[in-house]
Amino acid sequence: MAIASPPRSSAPVPPPRSGPTAPSRRASLQGRLRGALAGLLVFVLVVIAYVALTASSGAQYKLVFSSDELLVLGDPVEVGGVPVGSVKEITLSHDDKAVVTVSVSSSLTPLHQGTSAEIRVPSLSGVADRYVALTPGPNNYPALPAGATITKTSNPVDLDELFNSLNVNTRRGLQQVIEGFAEQYSGVEGDVNSAVGYFPATLQSLDHVFAELGHDERTFTDFLINVAQATSVIGSRSASLQSLIGNADATFAAIGSQQENLESGLKQLPETLTQGTATFKALPSTLSALTRLVNLSKTDTRTLPSLFERLAPLLVEATPVVHDLSVAIDKPGPDNDLTDAALALPNLAKTLQTASPNTVKALREGLPDSALFAPYSPDLEGFVRGFGEATAYYDADGHYAHVLPQFDTFKLETENTLKPVTPQEGLQGLKTGQLTRCPGAATAPAGDGSSPFADSPLLGCDPAEVP
């Protein structure tokens, strides 16, 4: 079996190079790398040393405060909450002010004009816990040389100093306010703690509000100016405002006295709202019915013009009547209209309360007499009327009355004839001694029996006494 061998290349084989072998080249490369790393390490150490040396350097400045406010050597100096130095020395000037020497790191030096300083208290947990807060001036301002004195400083205001600035009544009022808060939140601490949980959201909302105010600064400025003017106007009305506050205090006191009624009203409020909801649910059907009513009324409104035309004459004639009625109700002047009469009715009622019983008593006591004379009133009226008619004639001497007694000079015979009689015969029919004659007995008895009037023998007269 024949096996074919691969063909050999005809290219010449290069001769081997002279020099170090592969392992020796790898060792040389590693040596160069170690040297580079060592140099880099030395460079980093030099940079760290330079930074450390430059950081330790800086400048010192003198700060003048009205008092040192319990500062001690070594207290920190901060800018924006970041420590940048410390207090190195505290001395007293010739005008009794505290001169505080501070060192500031070179990262902030040199300071510039416009730099201010303030002594601050980080918290109330420490009595002597203080630090100096620097506010560097703009970089485009002239630089301050090392050792320069900064006089633009301020001291913290302690609560004691704040309270000492208030008078006795104000401090007492503030104490009562604090005690009132304590009484108000007593027993509801859990609810208060739950409410405090909403403060972050509230502050976030306030931040959004202030941001919106900042966007429209012109409008906010105008608002503050208007508020200031309104406050000035209110201040000029201090007496009225004081009266208003007093009345409001009395109003709230009256509301507080009705606490039980308010509580009862609040308990009934849900039921009221439920009924109101039911009422509002029924409104659509009611409005639908009103819509139908309006649609049906449209045809009737066509006749309204003619109705108004007919009402016009009535209104013209009624105008003076209404005017007279208005005058009768309210007329200028005292005691001349219905209003004055109505105002006088209470006094009249008071008078009648005493006069009416007396009048009724008098009527009851005079009833026997009036009952006796009342039936004779027609006879009395006839006498006066007849006498008046007789005296109404005139002659040359004025009024006159003729009194002529007349007697019967005739008597009735048979066949309705009259026969003359003598005076003696004429007096035969006269009667005397009739002192209990009943009313109406002087005339012929009425056919219905109404005369003579005996009033069921209550008058005490004798119906038999007739002429």
Count of other CB atoms within 10 angstroms of residue 454: 17
- Show the DSSP H helices in 146-198 as ranges: 159-164, 168-185, 189-196
- Separation CA 326–CA 343 (nearest Å): 17
Mean pLDDT of 91-114: 90
**pLDDT confidence bin for 388, thresholds 50/70/90:** low
- Separation CA 230–CA 224 (nearest Å): 10
Q: How many residues are there in the chain?
A: 467
CA geometry: angle at 255 spanning 254 and 257, to 5°? Answer: 65
Q: Which residue has the tokens 């026997």?
A: 368
- Separation CA 207–CA 204 (nearest Å): 5
What is the torsional sign of CA 212, 215, 219, 223?
Answer: positive
Nearest alpha-carbon partner for 134 in 73, 69, 63 = 63
The pairing of strands 417-420 and 98-105 is unpaired
* pLDDT of 15 over the 70 cut: no
* 87 DSSP β-pair partners: 102
Q: What is the pLDDT of residue 40?
A: 67
* pLDDT of 114 over the 70 cut: yes
Q: What is the percent of the chain with per-residue pLDDT over 70, rounded to a whole number? A: 75
Q: What is the pLDDT of residue 6?
A: 43
Task: Mean pLDDT check: name the lowest of 111-120, 141-150, 212-221.
Answer: 212-221
**113 contacts 57 by C-beta, under 8 angstroms:** no
Mean pLDDT of the chain: 77
**Per-residue DSSP letter, 113:** T
- Separation CA 365–CA 358 (nearest Å): 10
- Show the DSSP H helices in 186-303 as ranges: 189-196, 199-215, 217-236, 238-257, 259-300
pLDDT, one tens digit per residue, over 281-307 is 888 888 888 888 888 888 778 788 888
Mean pLDDT of 222-237: 81
Q: What is the pLDDT of residue 385?
A: 65
Q: Which amino acid makes up residue 327?
A: V
Nearest alpha-carbon partner for 466 in 458, 456, 394, 446 = 446
* pLDDT of 113 over the 60 cut: yes
**pLDDT confidence bin for 2, thresholds 50/70/90:** very low
E strands along 39-176, which residues? Answer: 58-65, 76-79, 82-92, 98-105, 116-120, 131-135, 149-150, 153-154
Q: pTM score, two decimals?
A: 0.30
* 101 DSSP β-pair partners: 62, 89
Q: Where are the domains of the chain?
A: 52-163
* 410 DSSP β-pair partners: 420
The contacts of residue 446 (CB under 8 Å, 6+ apart) are 440
Mean pLDDT of 347-361: 78
pLDDT, one tens digit per residue, over 361-375 is 777 777 676 666 666
Give the orientation angle of helix 238-257 with respect to helix 217-236, to 10 degrees. Answer: 90
pLDDT, one tens digit per residue, over 398-451 is 555 544 455 556 777 777 787 777 767 766 666 777 778 788 777 777 778 777
State which H helix or E strand residue 39 sits in: helix 22-56
pLDDT, one tens digit per residue, over 127-182 is 567 889 999 999 899 999 999 999 999 887 766 667 777 788 888 888 888 888 88
* Tokens describing residue 245: 């506050």
Mean pLDDT of 51-62: 66
